[in-house]
Amino acid sequence: MNTYQKKIWTLAREVMDICDKNGVKWFVSGRSAMRACLSQLFYKSFLDFEITIEAGDALKFADAVKEAKIPDRSLESLLTNSNFPGFYFKYVDESTTLYRLNEGDATQNRGLFVTIQLLRRVNDNSSSMLQAGEVEKIICQSTYHMDEEKKIGLLRKFSYKIKKSLGGTIFSKKVFNLLVDLYSKDKASELLLKNIWDEYILTDMDIWGSMQIKEFNGRGFYIPQEEYFNITIGKDWKQYIDEIVLEGKCATMIIEGANNIASSVISYRELIISCSQQKKV
């Protein structure tokens, strides 16, 4: 691991510990799980790490992070940022600054982070699912699972966007709570699993009944069995680890601290102050 991957692993361990302490089920997911399954948890120089929890546990998790009061940490989502780009969390190290140069970013905290995805449960109420789809597609700009035929009317789109622009964080909190409610009702057996191309796949997989335990640097963690990878990547996923991982590559710039270039990165706040001072000069 390089210096920054060690910081990412520290963040991941903190999320796992918070979940364990508060009875929140979790597993390592996405590309992180794929690499772990092939004994390459931190592949080359990549800085991504993803953990998934139940959507129904989202508010419990947010409260637990707040109660933990770990220095230089923040949890960002629609609960705190009306322009946040989706229904998930970012657990951020505020003492660092990370820029992905070829990606747009509406987040407020630009440090190294771990992504916490929310596992969506689908109930039998088709109108509820349609509502969830509309909200995610319009408010979160998500590539959602809705059928293409189910077009969203211009009036409804306009209504959501007006509420978003006028309501700010108050409205985004309501959206987040609505999605938690819609995706955790009745604990339906069908799930929406997110694949590594950010598309949603409907499955009846028993996700919690098929976990395997891996270990890294003295810390055990859960990843799903191979069925998960067959669904989210494809049955021949083992043959394409280089292709699949590198497809997500993006240009990354980490701002280094002036005093200790080898091991420190400056906070976003410090960067802004520094730039302001230079401008005055």
> In this predicted model, what pLDDT tens digit does every residue of 91-107 receive, in sequence order?
999 888 876 655 555 55
CA distances from 271 to 84, 162, 258 (A): 22, 34, 11
Residues 6 or more apart whose Cβ sits within 8 Å of residue 260: none
* E runs forming strands in the chain: 26-28, 50-54, 73-76, 88-93, 98-100, 113-122, 190-194, 200-203, 211-216, 219-224, 252-254
Query: In the prediction, which pLDDT does 245 show?
Result: 46
Res 145 pLDDT > 60:
no
Residue 214 clears pLDDT 70, i.e. is over it: yes
For residues 29-46, average pLDDT = 76
How many secondary structure helices (H) and strands (E) does the chain include? 8, 11
Nearest to residue 231, comparing CAs of 89, 26, 56, 33?
A: 33
- As a whole number of angstroms, the distance between CA 263 and CA 266 comes to 10
Residue 249 vs residue 134, higher pLDDT:
134
Q: List, for residues 215-268, the tens digit of each pLDDT value.
A: 888 889 999 988 888 888 888 777 765 554 444 444 444 544 333 333 334 555
Considering the chain, what percentage of its residues have pLDDT values greater than 90? Answer: 24
User: How many Cβ atoms sit within 10 Å of the Cβ of residue 259?
Assistant: 7
Q: Is the pLDDT confidence value at 203 over 70?
A: yes
| Alpha-carbon span 101 to 249, nearest angstrom | 11
Token pair listed for 172 = 């985004």
Amino acid occupying residue 258: A
